[in-house]
């Protein structure tokens, strides 16, 4: 049984093309991936991300427990601070990547839609200490307002300065009369906010944001552009770029792993992996000629197969094919010439950092 987000009717009204995604009816596009992508890069767009899962951890030992569950150091979080992290299996494979919100009397874990139930079961199974675990996903609607004009739009709905909310910080407040959790976070490389509301307030929330945004020609954005936008700033996508067969060290997520903190699930395996040495690494590459990397295309170098593509797309900003995937060391080095082989064969070059570097994120 597919679920509808609380904003579903708006998607129909806006003539969104609806597809099944992670158990939900979701809009994949409205006017088209290219114009929507441009809207977010140059102005402001709104994503319905209500499919994301939200799991609440309460109780006096919540920090201890979350620190045991996740790889980043949750004990460093101040009240209302947000952290990117991963959850691992004992063997170091990734259960999920997630955001950890340290809120008043609770920690909120925001997880990938397709993983919500799996994550919840995993968390319950590994429960320790004095904590309460609740899957509150079905009670929450979530919108992401993203783009260089995002703050200008959102500022109209608050009588205090939104500058106070810095990147990866949150606030529990009221937007007009609606209680919201607002954070300066996103998945686009642009400045922007994510807004969590009780489902009951979904209509008001949508209308308020679109009224405030009308002078900026604010537009709804589908999953298609969400993918090209995240891709250009090289954010990994669970299920494609990372999964239970990949570990965060080879995935280039070592910055979200703190091996010097207390015990956490997967720590032992990661220490061993690190000691043995990493044999493949996640790399980003740009097509040097006509061609678009697609998932499962082979990656060759020096006449041998050195990896495969996990994500690939046409970059609307760069106007060329871009790809990511695991590449055998040392072919992951910046500047290495690769040959990508799929429906067509073309040369590509490993590049450093995000594909698109001019985002307004801060």
Per CB under 8 A, residues contacting another protein are 29, 32-34, 224, 227-228, 290-292, 294, 313-314, 316, 342-344
Q: Which is nearer to another protein, 86 or 228 (CB)?
A: 228
Among the listed residues 336, 343, 239, 204, the one whose alpha carbon sits nearest the alpha carbon of residue 283: 336
Report d(CA 7, CA 11) in Å as an integer. 7
Asked if residue 187 lies in contact with residue 229, where contact means CB atoms within 8 angstroms, the answer is: yes
* 297, 303, 305, 308 alpha-carbon torsion, rounded to 10°: -30
The token duo for 329 is: 């060391």
Asked if residue 51 lies in contact with residue 117, where contact means CB atoms within 8 angstroms, the answer is: no
Q: Which is nearer to another protein, 31 or 81 (CB)?
A: 31
Q: Which is nearer to another protein, 166 or 343 (CB)?
A: 343
Among the listed residues 38, 44, 35, 46, the one whose alpha carbon sits nearest the alpha carbon of residue 10: 46
Handedness of CA 242, 244, 245, 249 (dihedral sign): positive
Q: Which is nearer to another protein, 262 or 289 (CB)?
A: 289
What are φ and ψ of residue 210, in 5° steps?
A: -70, -35
Report d(CA 258, CA 35) in Å as an integer. 40
Q: Which is nearer to another protein, 276 or 319 (CB)?
A: 319
Q: How far is the CB of 356 from another protein (least distance, A)?
A: 14
Q: How far is the CB of 343 from another protein (least distance, A)?
A: 5
Q: How far is the CB of 308 from another protein (least distance, A)?
A: 16
Rg (CA), the chain: 20
- Provide the pairing of β-strand 45-48 with 219-221: parallel
Q: How far is the CB of 114 from another protein (least distance, A)?
A: 18
Q: Which is nearer to another protein, 13 or 290 (CB)?
A: 290
Q: How far is the CB of 188 from another protein (least distance, A)?
A: 16
Report d(CA 107, CA 96) in Å as an integer. 17
Q: How far is the CB of 351 from another protein (least distance, A)?
A: 20
Asked if residue 286 lies in contact with residue 351, where contact means CB atoms within 8 angstroms, the answer is: yes
Report d(CA 343, CA 312) in Å as an integer. 13
Q: How far is the CB of 244 from another protein (least distance, A)?
A: 25
Q: How far is the CB of 32 from another protein (least distance, A)?
A: 6
The token duo for 308 is: 């495969």
Q: Which is nearer to another protein, 39 or 228 (CB)?
A: 228
Asked if residue 273 lies in contact with residue 92, where contact means CB atoms within 8 angstroms, the answer is: yes
């Amino acid at each position: 049984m597919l679920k509808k987000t609380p904003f579903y009717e708006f998607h129909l009204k806006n003539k969104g093309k609806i597809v099944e995604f992670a158990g939900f009816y979701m809009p994949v596009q409205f006017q088209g991936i290219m114009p929507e992508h441009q809207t977010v890069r140059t102005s402001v767009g709104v994503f319905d991300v209500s499919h994301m899962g939200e799991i609440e951890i309460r109780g006096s030992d919540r920090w201890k427990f979350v620190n045991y569950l996740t790889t980043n150091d949750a004990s460093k979080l101040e009240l209302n601070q947000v952290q990117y992290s991963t959850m691992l299996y004992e063997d170091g494979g990734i259960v999920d990547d997630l955001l950890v919100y340290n809120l008043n009397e609770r920690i909120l874990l925001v997880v990938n839609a397709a993983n919500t139930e799996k994550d919840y079961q995993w968390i319950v199974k590994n429960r320790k200490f004095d904590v309460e675990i609740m899957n509150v996903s079905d009670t929450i609607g979530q919108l992401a307002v993203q783009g260089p004009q995002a703050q200008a739009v959102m500022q109209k709905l608050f009588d205090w300065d939104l500058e106070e909310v810095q990147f990866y910080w949150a606030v529990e407040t009221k937007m007009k009369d609606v209680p919201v959790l607002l954070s300066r976070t996103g998945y686009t490389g642009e400045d922007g906010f994510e807004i969590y509301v009780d489902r009951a307030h979904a209509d008001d929330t949508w209308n308020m944001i679109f009224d405030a945004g009308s002078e900026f020609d604010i537009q709804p954005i589908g999953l298609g552009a969400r993918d090209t936008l995240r891709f250009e700033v090289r954010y990994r996508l669970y299920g494609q770029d990372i999964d239970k067969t990949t570990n965060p060290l080879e995935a280039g997520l070592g910055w979200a792993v703190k091996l010097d903190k207390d015990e956490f699930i997967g720590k032992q395996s990661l220490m061993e992996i690190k000691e043995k040495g990493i044999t493949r690494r996640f790399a980003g590459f740009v097509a040097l000629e006509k061609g678009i990397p697609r998932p499962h295309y082979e990656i060759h170098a020096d006449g041998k197969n050195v990896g495969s593509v996990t994500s690939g797309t046409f970059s609307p900003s760069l106007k060329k094919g871009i790809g990511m995937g695991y590449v055998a060391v040392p072919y992951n080095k910046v500047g290495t010439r690769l040959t990508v082989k799929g429906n067509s064969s073309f040369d590509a070059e490993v590049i450093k950092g995000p594909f698109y570097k001019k985002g307004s994120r801060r």
